[in-house]
Structure 1
Amino acid sequence: MADDTSGLSVPPKKLSHSELKEYAPGLQPRKMTAKYEKQKETLLRDRKSIQQLHKQRVHRGQSAATQKYESRMERKKIDREKKLYPRNREWKDADYFIDQYLKREAQMKTERVRARKIQNVEVKGNDEVMFVARVAADFECSPKVQKIFRELRLYKPYTAVFLRRSGENLKKLALVRRQIRVVKPIRQQVEDLIRTRGFAKVDKQRVALSSNQVIEERFGEHGFVCIEDLADTLMKGDEEKFNLVTHFMWPFKIDEAFNDQSNKVPGVGRSAADSGRHLQDKVEQFPFRFMDSLMEQACRRGKSRHWMGPELIKALPSKKEAKFLMKVKRKKVALKAKERKIQAKFDAIAETDRKVARKLRREHKQQREEKKAAALASKNKSWKVAMKKSAKAKEKKEAKRRGEDRRLIAMYGKKKSTAKKRPPKKQSKVE
C-alpha cells in the first residue's frame, strides 16, 4: 500500500501550532482527551471554590466589624443612660429641696453679715505664702463666692494657686472658707510642685515647664533663668515679682496629681464638704499636706490661730455668742427628733389603717365571690328543672299520639304500608 503522506516531508521534533499549520495545512490538531477535560473541570471547580471562600471570608470580616461597631455603640448608649439616669440615685422629696433652699438662704445671709464685719475690721497681713486649693463646684457656690473665685483665678474645682497673706486676700478667703483648703508650703515643696505640675501661659496657651528655655525667654530681663529662681521669688520675692510669676504660671490642677477620676465633682454628685474630705483622703500621694479651711483654723487654738492674725479673729463670734448658737442648734436638733417621733407614730397609725383596709377589702372580695358562686348554682338548678319539665311534656305528647293510633286501628283496621319490600337475600348453596 502506498502511503498517503508520501508528499509530506518529516517534520522536526518540536513545532508550535502555527508552525505546524504552515508545515501541514491539511493536518487537524489532536482533540483533547477525556483525561485533560476532567483535569480542566477540576481546576475550574477548585478556582470557583477558592473565590467563594475568599468572598465568604471578606463577608465574615465585614459582618464581624459591623457587629463590633454596633456593640460598641450600644455600650456607649448604655453608659450615657447610666450617667443620665443612675439607678443608685436616691429619691428626693419636695421637702428636701425646700430645706436645701432655706439652708442656702440662711448661708447667704450669714455670708453677708460676715462680709460686713470683715470689711469694718483692719486686717494686717505679712509676706508669707499660702497655697489655696478650690474644692467646690460652681453649682455649690453662691454668685458672690463665684466672683471671689474668679478674682483669685480659681476658675474650676480642684485648681490651686499661690497667694500672699495680705489683708485683702485674708478677707476674701474668710468669705469662701467652706469651699477651699489652705496650706502653708515650704520652699522645697514649691520647687517640686513647679517641676512636676507647673505650666506656663505663653500666647494664651498652656505650655509645660519641662525646660528652662521658656523661663529664660520670659524673665531674662528680671534675672530669672530656672525653676529654682521662680521658687525663690514665690517664697521671698517682693510683691511685683510675685505677681509677675503667679500670672505667668497656669493654675495647678490637683486631680491630675492624684490620677483618679473619682476626685471630679459630678453634676449631681457629692457636696463640697464631702468632696473636700475625699480630697484630703487622697492627699498622701501629693507633696503638700492639706489643712482645714481658713475660718476653722481661726476657731482653733495655738499656732493656726496665731498664724491667722488677731485682727481677723475679732470678726469671729465670741464665746458667749458661740454658746448661744450651740444652744439654739441643740434645741433645733431636739425639735427635729420630736418631729421624727411624732411622724413615726403617725406612720404606725397609718400602717394599721392600711392593714385594716386591706382586711376589709379581702372580706368584701370573698363575699362577692361567694355570691357569684351561689347565683351560678341556682342558675344551674333552674336549668335542670326546666330540662326535666320539657322531657315530661315530650313523654305526654308521645303517649297521647300512641293512644290516638290505637283508637284509629280499632275503628278502621291497620293500614297497609305502601313502601316496597326488599327481596330476601339468596343463600349460597353449600355443596
Structure 2
Amino acid sequence: MAPSTTVASAEQIAVPETLLKKRRTNDATREAKLAAAAEARKARLAKRKVIFKRADEYVKEYTAKEREEIRLKREARKTGDYYVSAQPKVFFVVRLKGISKIAPKPKKILQLLRLLQINNGVFIRVTKATEQMLRLVSPYIAYGEPNLKAIRELVYKRGYAKVNGQRIPITDNSIIEENLGKYGIVCMEDLVHEIATCGPNFKQATQSLWPFKLSNPTGGFRDRKFTGFVEGGDTGNREQHISKLIHQMV
C-alpha cells in the first residue's frame, strides 16, 4: 500500500520575509498612487470651476463694454455730436517683407519686435516709443488694433508657448499656469483677457508666447503689396481692418 502524501496549504507554506516586504511596499505604493490620483482629480475639478467662473466674468465684462460703446454712440448721435473711441492700447504687428533691401536701422527694430520672418506676428503695447518704431518700419509691416475675436482666434489656433527657448504647442492650461501662474494667468481665457485689455502683466503674457507664424492671407495680398494700405497696398497702419487680415491669415 502506497504511503499517503499530504499537500501543504497556502497558509502552511513559509513565505520569505523579503517577498512579504516587497508585497507590502507594492501595496503601499499602489495605495499612494490611487490617493494621489484622486487628489489630482479633485484639484482639476476645482480648478475647472474657477476657470469657468472667470470665463463667465470675462464674457460679462466684454458685453458690458460693447453695450457702453453703443450707448455712447447713440447719445452722441442724438445731440448731433461725434463719438470718438478711446485710443488703442494694443497693436498686432505682422511682417510682410523679407530681409532683402532693408536698411540696418529698420532691420534692428524688426529684431527687437521679434519679427524675424515673413508672416510672423506679435502683440505690442501702444506707447509713444512703439508708435515711433512702427512708423520707421511701416513699409515692411502691417499693424492695427485687433478686436477680441481676432485675439482669441490667434491664441487658440496659432498660439505656441515659449518654454526654455523652445516652441511648445499650448495643448493644456497647465502649460500656461506653469509659465504665468505667478501672475494670476492660469488658462487660455486669462491669457486672452490680459492681451485684449492690456493688463498689468501684458509684457509677461506676450513674452511667454512664441511669435505667431501665420499663412499668406486667403485670396492673396493686394497687387501693390508694399505700398501703404490707404494707397491700395497692404503695409502700414490698418487700424481696425487688421482683424480682417488676421482672419485671412490664421
TM-score by length of structure 1 reads: 0.32
The alpha carbon displacement at 1:236 in A equals 1.4
Residues 214-235 of structure 1 deviation map (CA, whole Å, 9 limit, x = unaligned):
0011122222121110011012
Residues 289-341 of structure 1 deviation map (CA, whole Å, 9 limit, x = unaligned):
x96513xx69xxxx99xxxxxxxxxxxxxxxxxxxxxxxxxxxxxxxxxxxxx
Mapping of residues 32-431 of structure 1, within 5 Å: 128-239=89-200, 241-255=201-215, 274-275=224-225, 292-294=235-237
**What fraction of aligned residue pairs are identical, expressed as a percent?**
29
Residues 1-21 of structure 1 deviation map (CA, whole Å, 9 limit, x = unaligned):
xxxxxxxxxxxxxxxxxxxxx
Deviating beyond 3 angstroms after TM superposition, the runs of 4 or more aligned structure 1 residues are 257-260, 273-277
The alpha carbon displacement at 1:276 in A equals 5.1
Partners of 1:148 and 1:161 in 2: CA distance = 13
Partners of 1:181 and 1:203 in 2: CA distance = 29
Q: Which amino acid aligns with 1:252?
A: F
The alpha carbon displacement at 1:209 in A equals 1.1
TM-score by length of structure 2 reads: 0.53
The residue number in structure 2 matching 1:325 is none
Partners of 2:175 and 2:184 in 1: CA distance = 13
Partners of 2:226 and 2:153 in 1: CA distance = 23
The alpha carbon displacement at 1:183 in A equals 2.6
Q: Which amino acid aligns with 1:293?
A: G
Bigger Rg, which one: 1
CA contact 1:200–1:249 (8 Å) conserved in 2: yes
Q: Which amino acid aligns with 1:213?
A: S
Partners of 1:128 and 1:291 in 2: CA distance = 22
Where is the strand percentage greater, Structure 1 or Structure 2? 2
The alpha carbon displacement at 1:259 in A equals 8.8
CA contact 2:140–2:235 (8 Å) conserved in 1: no
The alpha carbon displacement at 1:242 in A equals 0.6
The alpha carbon displacement at 1:142 in A equals 0.9
Partners of 1:209 and 1:251 in 2: CA distance = 13
CA contact 2:89–2:125 (8 Å) conserved in 1: yes
What is the count of residue pairs matched by the alignment?
152
Where is the helix percentage greater, Structure 1 or Structure 2? 1
User: In structure 1, the residue corresponding to 2:143 is in which secondary structure?
Assistant: strand
Partners of 1:165 and 1:237 in 2: CA distance = 9
The alpha carbon displacement at 1:238 in A equals 3.2
Partners of 2:225 and 2:118 in 1: CA distance = 10
* Alpha-carbon RMSD: 3.3
